[in-house]
Chains A and B, each alone.
Chain A
Amino acid sequence: MTAEQVAASVESGMAVGIGGWGSRRKPMTLVRALLRSPVRDLTLISYGGPDVGMLCAAGKVRRVVAPFVTLDSIALEPHFRRARQTGAIEFTEYDEGMFMFGLLAGAHRLPFLPTRAGLGSDVMRVNPELRTVRSPYGDGEELVAVPALTPDVALVHVNRADARGNAQYLGPDPYFDDLYAKAAGRCYVSCERLVDPADLLKEGPVQSLLISRSMVAGVVEAPGGAGFTSCEPDYGRDEAEQRRYVETPWEDFREQG
């Protein structure tokens, strides 16, 4: 597939889960294709980085579901900040662990999963739709019932994939990309390099095969497709480009490509 075909399959109003973490292994080629598409009113579900920032800057977003939005080496994401401070977007703010449990619930087709993370904090205040459950066992503990996160579409970027969608990460951290793939209605994978299935185990052990083709609707070969975020071990974060992104007015940055 092409990135444009992936973007064209995303409809206005959909919930889009975006893999990676902060400014690490974000599917930026697919995100940039969304920027060029007419889509709008998206709900983004993301351990947020420049994916969230760019889509907010381009006016594509109605709601962000996230525990943070950061560029890692630059703590605060300028376009997400502006969107929040101008009231341009709605925000569902979760604890990092709550967010993972939301993805796990979605991946396991459960309505919710219980956790302690979030209890006592203002996450409960600013998300009045959140409910608690009481343990049915002797302890009777009250826990947050984190509702399943179920994106309509998930977008992830990995190091290698075969044409049918078996996806491999070669870096040190899988992040939560497998959970996005399993929780979503359909998942699109972009990869640094398409390889023959017979070659998948030449570069990494079997445990590096993160996502099965049964979870993947389409594959896009996109060398550099996480840039300027990192995609270890193929490349690190392009810090100069990230700085330029932060320092350049959005319309200029977007025109310069």
Chain B
Amino acid sequence: MSRADVCVVACAEAFRGDGEILAAGIGGAVTVLAARLARLTFEPDLLTHDGVCLLTGDVPALGEAPQVVEGWLPFREHLWLVLNGRRHVMLGASQIDRHGNTNISCVGDWARPKAQLLGVRGAPGNTRCDPTSYWIPKHSARVFVPEVDMVSGLGTDRGAYELRRVVTNLAVLDFGGPGGAMRLVSVHPGVSVADVVAATGFELAGAGDDVPRTREPTEEELRVLDRLDPGRLREREVAG
């Protein structure tokens, strides 16, 4: 069992209870594996896609084409689905604050940024209309900031529909703190609460002495992960 395995399972847990909605992982291996793992284990009604525009009837390994296609999901259907709400997406963030406002647009003053990033993409609509979670592979004070430079995804103080959880390479967090503030839910095996606090640029609720450990993957989950990701691409995404 590696740290990446723990992270994938912690991300998969975000989809628990979601039922028959699209579980969408954006980018990299970890979030995509999380959605597929949840579907293959405790959340069998989830819809998952191939990363392009097919809803897959089966659950293929990373990079492999599905044998069964159960639906079509071009970008226009994704954007419809965002407004409809039957979608839970796991996004990334270059900056996140204590209410879960996130930034993927630019660093610095928007009018003339120090670093132009992607643009807001679909984050405003996603966070307003759908349950949203975040996967942040490198938990640091550069990412966990007091104030984000450009609010792309809404926080709990700006009308987010539901921010389910934030999973990082160190910990699991949610927004159950006072006034919808970020709260430490669990630390991954081998990580201390002090590590998480040091890597967070704002006051973190729940960072006391009795923080649970993130659960370890079951043997079944590890077997499924090895089938879905035999090349262990997930390891490359998780900072040590």
Please encode chain B, from 142 to 180, with 1 for each CB lying within 8 Å of some chain A CB and 0 for all others: 000000001111100011100000000000000000000
Interface of A is mostly: loop
Q: Is the CB of B124 within 8 A of A121?
A: yes
CA distance A166 to B131 in the complex (A): 40
A126 within 8 A of B: yes
Chain A 100-127 interface residues, beta-carbon cutoff 8 Å to B: 100, 115-123, 125-126
User: Chain B interface mostly helix, strand, loop or mixed?
Assistant: loop
A187-218 with Cβ < 8 A to chain B: none
B residues less than 8 Å from A256 (CB atoms): none
Chain A: CB-nearest residue to B157: A120
CB of B129 closer than 8 Å to a CB of A = yes
Of the listed residues B111, B119, B158, the one surrounded by the most CB atoms of chain A closer than 10 A to its CB is B119
User: Which residue in chain B gives the minimum CB-CB distance to A84?
Assistant: B116
Question: Contact: B119 with A85, CB < 8 Å?
Answer: no
Best-surrounded residue of A47, A121, A122 (most CB of chain B within 10 A): A121
Given the contacts A116-B125, A174-B74, A176-B76, A93 and B54 also touching, CB distance less than 8 Å:
no
Closest chain B residue to A21, Cβ basis: B75
The CA of A75 and the CA of B94, in the complex, are separated in Å by 13
Given contacts A93-B105, A100-B76, A173-B53, contact A122 B151 (CB under 8 A): yes
Instruction: Report chain B residues within 8 Å CB of A68.
Output: 118-121
Which of chain B's residues 108-146 have a Cβ closer than 8 Å to chain A? 110-125, 127-129
Q: Are A172 and B74 in contact (CB under 8 A)?
A: yes
CA distance A125 to B111 in the complex (A): 11
CA distance A84 to B117 in the complex (A): 10
Q: Which of B106, B111, B112, B128 contacts A120 (CB 8 A)?
A: B128
Q: Would you call A172 and B159 a contact (CB within 8 A)? A: no
The interface size of chain B toward A, counting residues with CB under 8 Å, comes to 39
A174 and B52 alpha carbons, distance in the complex (Å): 12
Q: Within 8 Å CB of A122, what residues of B?
A: 105, 110, 120, 150-152
Given A119-B128, A121-B158, residue A126 in contact with residue B110 (CB < 8 A): yes
**Interface positions of A from 30 to 59, Cβ below 8 Å from B:** 47-48
Known A95-B124, A96-B121, A172-B52; judge A121-B79 contact (CB<8 A). Answer: no
Question: Which residues on A sit within 8 Å (CB–CB) of B83?
Answer: 97, 115-117
Return the chain A residue nearest B73 by Cβ.
A173
Interface string of B72-97 (1 = CB under 8 A from A): 10111001001100000000000000
Interface size class of A (residues with CB under 8 A): 35 or more
CB pair A117 B119 closer than 8 Å = no
Q: Do residues B114 and A121 form an inter-chain contact, with CB atoms below 8 A?
A: no
Q: How far is the CA of A50 from the CA of B153 in the complex (A)?
A: 25
The residue of chain B having its C-beta at the shortest distance from the C-beta of A82 within the complex is B116
Report A9 CB to chain B, min CB distance, Å: 28
Contact (Cβ within 8 A) A172 B54: yes
Whether, in the assembled complex, A186 has its beta carbon less than 8 Å from a beta carbon of chain B, the answer is no
Name the distance in Å between B50's Cβ and chain A's nearest Cβ: 10
How far does the alpha carbon of A48 sit from the alpha carbon of B159 in the complex, in Å?
28
Say whether A175 faces chain B, with CB atoms less than 8 Å apart. yes
Closest CB of chain B to A48's CB: distance in Å?
A: 8
Residue contact B115 to A173, C-beta cutoff 8 Å: no
CA of A100 to CA of B77, assembled, Å: 11
Which residues from chain A contact B79 at a C-beta distance below 8 Å?
96-97, 100
Chain B neighbourhood of A172, CB < 8 A: 52-54, 72, 74
Contacts of B115 in A (CB 8 A): 81, 85
**B180-230: which have CB < 8 Å to A?**
none
A172 CA to B78 CA, complexed, in Å: 14
10 closest Cβ pairs, A-B complex: A117-B125, A68-B119, A121-B124, A84-B116, A173-B74, A96-B122, A95-B124, A122-B151, A120-B159, A120-B158
- Some 6 contacts from A to B, beta carbons below 8 A apart, are A70-B119, A97-B125, A116-B129, A172-B52, A172-B74, A174-B76
Given contacts A84-B113, A175-B76, 4 further A-B contacts (CB under 8 A): A85-B115, A96-B121, A122-B150, A122-B152
Chain B residues within 8 Å of A, Cβ to Cβ: 52-54, 72, 74-76, 79, 82-83, 105-106, 110-125, 127-129, 150-154, 158-160
